Structure 1
Amino acid sequence: MNPLKKLATQTAVYGLSSIVGRFLNYLLVPLYTYTFKAEAYGVVSEFYAYAGFFAVLLTFGLETGYFRFRNREGAQAAGAYPAALGVLWLANLMFVAVVVAFRQPLAEALRYPDHAEYLVWFALILALDALSALPFARLRAEERAWRFAGVKLTEIAAAIGLNLWFLLGWPWLAGAWPDSPLAAAYDPALGVGYIFLANLIASVFKMLLLLPQLRGCDWRAGLPVIRPLLAYSLPMVVIGFAGVINEMLDRAILKYMLPYGPDENLRILGVYGACYKLSILMTLFVQAFRYAGEPFFFAYAGRADAKKAYALVLKYFVILCVFIFLLVTLYLDAFKLFIGPEYREGLDVVPILLMANLFLGVYVNLSVWYKLTDRTLMGAWVSLGAAVLTVGLNIWWIPTLGYRGSAWAHLASYGGMALVSYLLGRRYYPVPYPLARIGAYLLFGLALYGVDREFVQNCGWNPWGVGSALLGLYLAVSLVADFRPSRLRAL
């Protein structure tokens, strides 16, 4: 199969687990936002922001290190998987032990003194997710995309079912039969804690499904590989941690930086967290591409036409991302129904967040230069610079612009990362990216969005008719310019 078509096929399969699966999970957002007040949902947004930081720290960049070392020859290839797995098990067991031992002081520091159990449950969730990262990476490396998708979808289905049980089924049964054992066991005071508990049980189920990927490891073969593997992988922690700062910092610090009272700050955090979910289609596409793209970039690197392939990948990636941007923004009146009316005051940040995540995807493509030249430390400096920018802009803008300042900080940070990575790539691993064509699509998409705002908001035209016409125009132009059968056959 043509390697680009193979990449597209695997991206679609990974997208099945990410986009379809997360979309099903996304359908829980109405359940949360119609069930809990904004300040309660703010707790959920905050904890999942913390989870993003620890997800990077607890995997040590070993996914990328595993991909790199398994493509080498000899002992390093054979020992990469057991070495990475052994490090993850040891580190995550220690992490859970520390959180359990200090759960009450940590809960008080986070202003949740009555819910120390949240921290224990979240530590277990984080450890289980980190331990599953290597088995999932192995499935990706072995191109077992359908097995990968099956496990992911099963986990998500379990989480959805448990959420429905904890938030709808169990309360209903407790109200219908107040004297039953089920009613006695149900604790309404736990509130959003039931969301965390559902996640924990689903994570346990996921690990059980991944047990076959944990068998057959020659642990002795991994011992000589640990040091070089960590030397390559640990800079990826810096890169990943900086990336999480760019993605999650706003939701982690909003309640501390906003100039209002604690309850109002949590309410605003809940509004922002819910509206952030409306940009999830872009996020999921970038994630699906990352799953398929990373092993593709490494496996294709030795071919003569590798750079040409990377350039084509970025062009088609941007075309599809602009389509997602237009799909959400032109039909925002439909997407907003996924969140409760209390949360819709923040809808104006959705286009900003969509464009920010588009540039994050561009950076994922451009980062091939430091991964293939083993300059992960330089890549870490790029991410650190973006993280510093994110921190500075959030501190500067949140007190005056609120969560809108955070959205603009996202865009500035991801745009800066893409620009710097492109400039460094020109020096260390030059790829002939079609910048003119890529820039034209970006400007065309923004122009169509501007036309929609003019005719719908200022002139009062029918939003469905205008949006459909503009999206149809974009599809027609892109089909004629880059998706003609003759052009695709040439790939």
Structure 2
Amino acid sequence: MYKKLIIQTIIYFIGSIFPKIINYFFLKFFTNFLKIGEFSLYTDMYALSFLVIGFLSFGLENTYFRFISKKKYNKEIIFSTAVLLQLFITSFFLIIFLFSIKYIVFITGYKNHTEYFFMFFLIIFFDTICILPMAWLRANEMALKYTIINIINIIIQSILIIFYFYSYKKNFINDYYYNWINSFTDKTGYIFFSNMISSFSNCILILPLCLKKVTIKKFNKNIAKEMLNYGIPIMLGTIAFSINENLDKILIKRWLTDEINGAYSACYKISSFMSLYIRAFRLGIEPFFFKKSKDSNAIFYYEEITYLFILFGLIFYVLICGNISFIIDFFIDKKYHTAISIIPIVMMGNLFLGIYTNLSIFYKIIDKPIIGTYISLIGVLITILFNIIFVLIPNNNFMIPAWGTMASYGSMVIFLYFWGKKNFNNFYKKIWKILFHLLLAISLVLYMEIYESKINIRLFLELLYLIFIFLFDIYKFIYK
């Protein structure tokens, strides 16, 4: 049973990890080529765009997976309905945004860079349109095609970025095309323009699938209403997640300085190493979860896989955070290291988010996504509270929003624990083992950082930790 699951997860992991590795390569590239203030603009635009994408997605990706798991619905009708619904929503809001651009750039403080928003409107439009066709590939176990499309897009974006930045640095190209680019944007805008072209190419690659599978005749109004009713609570949860992830960077830029926000944002991206692990796990596991939702032993699979997720997540945490003083030099320039202390905190917060995501499957399969909305709103309130404290405290310590990220996601796990306790009886019997592993991992990282152990001592401690985890837990799953 696990063999196919592992193969699918590995392929999805390649499709996710390769673009992310390229992005981390560019993290070093950007922190070298861009001033800290320019890097702050770059991260701020993406922070703002994620809030919009969370809204426009309307939770239709999760809704699509849920509806195709129900036998009473025709899968082709579900797909056509979802895609056309997504196209209508996205097009409608694109028009509104374009007519409101003067007000948007004024409110956000970008009146001198209107072109940033024109490019991002198109990026958001293309990316949102591609969500469901890419979900269709996952649902139909076309992992290889999914991975190839992702790799093609990141290669296109990478080539364009390198071309623009290298040309700018060497100043050896004076042709019409290069002058045209520089006539409406700057160095930071090169990144956005490259992303826009890459997002457009993604649309072109999935267009044959849409033309083949999507027709207006297959649009079903009743199913569309049901999908919206199911998806809107998920959308609210997604918006809550976007606020949790981006509010701190948006406020630090506007309340402190671009220099502080640039350093904070760069180190925050190092913390998102954990998201590589979470994303690959989610891409391979989520469709499997929904397929198994009707099995008599479905809960058993959820519990076992989630427990494994926590174990491997903690291993990942120890290996990264235990060596962060060595790793960080490879990814960001030294002038950004002033915010290195946020990395273990935010990274643990991301692990809590991953645990929450896996456990939240229970309210999705019982068709009660509103539970996730309530819990996500609790997380948002905690995030807002910490950011209000950050704004009000005189010294404006940027560590406060970082602790807010961990507190927010940690609280969501705790609330979900009590809410779903009856649904995962066997899993919650392991809660003390989970807490033990959590404290062990955190203690090990703290020891290595506080005492600044030498590399050979760190490696020895990490090896002992891996042997301990394998002997007491992981081997049991191998020999089942």
Fold match (TM-score > 0.5):
yes
Match of 2:434 in 1: 438
Match of 2:456 in 1: 465
C-alpha change, 1:85 and 1:360, in structure 2 (3 Å) is same
**Contact 1:42 / 1:269 at 8 angstroms: preserved in 2?**
yes
Match of 1:228 in 2: 226
- Distance in 2 of aligned mates of 1:165 and 1:28: 13
Match of 1:158 in 2: 156
- Distance in 2 of aligned mates of 1:482 and 1:430: 19
Cα offset for 1:20? 2.5
- Distance in 2 of aligned mates of 1:137 and 1:430: 31
Give the alignment of 1:368-379 within 5 angstroms.
368-379=361-372
Cα offset for 1:428? 5.0
- Distance in 2 of aligned mates of 1:244 and 1:177: 39
- State which of 194, 201, 219 in structure 1 corresponds to 2:197: 201
Look up the equivalent residue of 2:314 and give its one-letter code.
V
Give the alignment of 1:29-108 within 5 angstroms.
29-108=27-106
- Distance in 1 of aligned mates of 2:149 and 2:465: 36
Match of 1:450 in 2: 446
- State which of 319, 322, 333 in structure 2 corresponds to 1:327: 319
- Distance in 2 of aligned mates of 1:39 and 1:172: 18
Asked if 1:317 corresponds to 2:309, the answer is yes
- Distance in 2 of aligned mates of 1:68 and 1:450: 41
Gap regions ≥5 residues in structure 2: none
C-alpha change, 1:93 and 1:155, in structure 2 (3 Å) is same
Asked if 1:364 corresponds to 2:357, the answer is yes
Asked if 1:301 corresponds to 2:293, the answer is yes
Match of 2:474 in 1: 483
Asked if 1:395 corresponds to 2:388, the answer is yes
- Distance in 2 of aligned mates of 1:184 and 1:146: 39
- Distance in 2 of aligned mates of 1:299 and 1:57: 27
Asked if 1:281 corresponds to 2:273, the answer is yes
TM-score under structure 2 normalisation?
A: 0.94
C-alpha change, 1:374 and 1:276, in structure 2 (3 Å) is same
Q: Which SS does the other structure have where 1:301 is aligned?
A: helix
User: Could you report, residue by residue, the CA deviation over 1:360-380 in whole angstroms, capped at 9, with x for unpaired residues?
Assistant: 000011101210111111221
Asked if 1:219 corresponds to 2:216, the answer is yes
**Contact 1:278 / 1:335 at 8 angstroms: preserved in 2?**
no
Match of 1:238 in 2: 236
Cα offset for 1:202? 0.5
- Distance in 2 of aligned mates of 1:354 and 1:69: 33
Cα offset for 1:398? 4.5
**Contact 2:67 / 2:73 at 8 angstroms: preserved in 1?**
no
Match of 1:261 in 2: none
Look up the equivalent residue of 1:216 and give its one-letter code.
K
**Larger displacement relative to structure 2 (447-456 or 4-13):** 4-13
**Larger displacement relative to structure 2 (4-13 or 314-323):** 4-13
Q: Which SS does the other structure have where 2:39 is aligned?
A: helix
- Distance in 1 of aligned mates of 2:47 and 2:273: 18
**Contact 2:156 / 2:198 at 8 angstroms: preserved in 1?**
yes
**Larger displacement relative to structure 2 (288-297 or 143-152):** 288-297
**Contact 1:69 / 1:76 at 8 angstroms: preserved in 2?**
no
- Distance in 1 of aligned mates of 2:15 and 2:250: 27
Give the alignment of 1:142-153 within 5 angstroms.
142-153=140-151
Gap regions ≥5 residues in structure 1: 259-264
**Contact 2:38 / 2:188 at 8 angstroms: preserved in 1?**
yes
Look up the equivalent residue of 1:314 and give its one-letter code.
T
User: Could you report, residue by residue, the CA deviation over 1:395-452 in whole angstroms, capped at 9, with x for unpaired residues?
Assistant: 1135535321111000000000011111111135645342222222211111211221
**Contact 1:135 / 1:213 at 8 angstroms: preserved in 2?**
yes
Match of 2:374 in 1: 381
- State which of 179, 182, 185 in structure 2 corresponds to 1:187: 182
Cα offset for 1:454? 3.7
- State which of 255, 260, 273 in structure 2 corresponds to 1:268: 260
Q: Which SS does the other structure have where 2:58 is aligned?
A: coil
**Contact 1:310 / 1:431 at 8 angstroms: preserved in 2?**
no
- Distance in 2 of aligned mates of 1:429 and 1:83: 34
**Contact 2:64 / 2:78 at 8 angstroms: preserved in 1?**
yes
**Contact 1:40 / 1:192 at 8 angstroms: preserved in 2?**
yes
Look up the equivalent residue of 1:83 and give its one-letter code.
T
- Distance in 2 of aligned mates of 1:365 and 1:75: 25
- Distance in 2 of aligned mates of 1:278 and 1:398: 24
- Distance in 1 of aligned mates of 2:439 and 2:275: 20
Match of 1:427 in 2: 422
User: Could you report, residue by residue, the CA deviation over 1:272-320 in whole angstroms, capped at 9, with x for unpaired residues?
Assistant: 1100111122011111222222211111112222212111111111111
- Distance in 2 of aligned mates of 1:60 and 1:72: 20
- Distance in 1 of aligned mates of 2:238 and 2:177: 43
**Contact 2:272 / 2:350 at 8 angstroms: preserved in 1?**
no
Equivalent pairs counted in the alignment come to: 473
- Superposed CA RMSD: 1.9
- Distance in 1 of aligned mates of 2:4 and 2:274: 21
C-alpha change, 1:187 and 1:483, in structure 2 (3 Å) is same
C-alpha change, 1:184 and 1:154, in structure 2 (3 Å) is closer
- Distance in 1 of aligned mates of 2:390 and 2:140: 45
Q: Which SS does the other structure have where 1:113 is aligned?
A: coil
TM-score under structure 1 normalisation?
A: 0.92
C-alpha change, 1:164 and 1:177, in structure 2 (3 Å) is closer
Cα offset for 1:161? 1.3
C-alpha change, 1:144 and 1:129, in structure 2 (3 Å) is same
Asked if 1:353 corresponds to 2:346, the answer is yes
- Distance in 2 of aligned mates of 1:420 and 1:166: 48
Cα offset for 1:184? 3.7
**Larger displacement relative to structure 2 (104-113 or 191-200):** 104-113
